[in-house]
Amino acid sequence: MKRSFRPIFSVVVLTVAAATLCFRIMVFGGSGAGEIQDSVYRNNVRAEQPAPVFNDTLLRFAAVDLAEDSVRQNVEQLVDGNFRGLTSGRRSSFLRSGRHRIDIRANSGTAVPAQLRSPEFHKFWLNFRRYLQTWWRNHRFQPDVMSDLLNVVKILKPSVNDSVLNSELKYKTCAVVGNSGILLKTNLGDAIDNHEFVIRLNNARTRGFERNVGSKTSLSFVNSNILHACARKETCYCHPYGEKVPIMMYMCQMIHFLDYVVCNSTHKVPLMITDPRFDILCARIVKYYSVSRFVKETGKALEAWAGSHDGSSFHYSSGMQAVMLALGICEKVSIFGFGKSDLAKHHYHTNQKAELHLHDYQAEYDLYRDLVERPEAIPFVSDKFKFPPVVIHR
């Protein structure tokens, strides 16, 4: 090649190379720009995706609570002092055992048991009715309830007043620690404890498992069956994480309000009941995911779903509601110990092998996946609520 053409050739080659590189960066995010460009590209694509279209039929079906009539009947009976028919099996309360042994089987009619009318327990009876009636009045669907969960933070931080902006109320980082046996195959204890706020479930013990699950606990989230068991102990002791750790629970059975009013009088820290509006929202979300999965996997009619998960007994897990709580009070949420493996125990701290049939864990895993990848696809939550970033640790 003649020397006079070399500069021209070099310019042409450089021009073509530069054009090619620019094209690659514009379309593919390039290679040198790497993960940053690729992340921007994916985020832009996600932002441009159309809003999810919910199945109206599934929404209407999920909005129906098969246990509604039964709960209403129980509330009415208990408010009227009718304890008959509520004394067997799972429906018994602490009043039949433990420190406060009261036979709630009335001998005649629907009268309140004589012991409850005594001076010692009369205040408990009045509080029981008041709590139950208030709970039932608020037992309705409200999609904005996620934004109201900040009131929980105000309870946990008494020094906070209403003048503080909502964004300043939230915890910076939160960890929700599930009880799956998969935690035994990890060394996530330090990662869990490094979060500002740590939520644990159903009094799962940490002693001896600190390397896997950590030791820090900011809130103990339980179902009311746990409190029922604790109520049999002296002073309703229910503090595996220490007496300074607050407890929050959802009511599995209305009769457990009796356990609550007595145990609440001895607690040194908040003993809280979840907002019934929040309960309804969680129930609808889980049912929607469960029914969606059922229809896709079986091809059966919606009406056949009830038989797959105990019908009116179907319920979200404690872990699911704890995750939903964290979404409302935290700026960033990390999920640990959710999931299962054929090689791992169901619970890291027990020998339980089988799952409870009244839960649909696979449907809940679908929900968690959407929390990470596309929270806009989660039904029933108000568009005003902004989901925080969620990370799942396996």
The tokens 């019908």 sit on which residue? 311
The domain tally of the chain equals: 2
11 is in which domain, residue-wise?
Answer: 3-48
The pLDDT assigned to 33 comes to: 31
Distance CA 42, CA 119 (A): 67
The pLDDT assigned to 88 comes to: 40
Residue 126 sits in the same domain as residue 40 = no
Residue 7 sits in the same domain as residue 74 = no
At 35, the amino acid letter reads E
Q: Is the pLDDT higher at 218 or at 255?
A: 218
- Judged against a pLDDT cut of 50, whether residue 210 lies above it is answered with yes
Residue 43 sits in the same domain as residue 72 = no
Rounded mean pLDDT of the chain? 80
Residue 315 sits in the same domain as residue 234 = yes
Residue among 262, 257, 256 at smallest CA distance from 237: 262
Residue 28 sits in the same domain as residue 137 = no
Average pLDDT over residues 266-290: 94
Residue 319 sits in the same domain as residue 365 = yes
- Tokens representing residue 118 in the block: 């005594």
- Judged against a pLDDT cut of 80, whether residue 34 lies above it is answered with no
Residue 233 sits in the same domain as residue 130 = yes
Q: How confident is the model at residue 162 (pLDDT cuts 50, 70, 90)?
A: low
Residue 153 sits in the same domain as residue 239 = yes
Average pLDDT over residues 321-336: 98
Residue 383 lies in a domain: yes
Alpha helices, H only, 63-214? 68-79, 119-137, 145-148, 150-156, 166-169, 189-193, 210-213
Task: Calculate the CA dihedral of residues 55, 61, 63, 64 and round it to 10 degrees.
Answer: 180
Residue 75 sits in the same domain as residue 40 = no
Residue 322 lies in a domain: yes
Distance CA 152, CA 294 (A): 34
Residue 44 sits in the same domain as residue 154 = no
The tokens 């897990």 sit on which residue? 317
Q: In CATH, what number is assigned to the domain containing residue 127?
A: 3.90.1480
Distance CA 200, CA 220 (A): 5
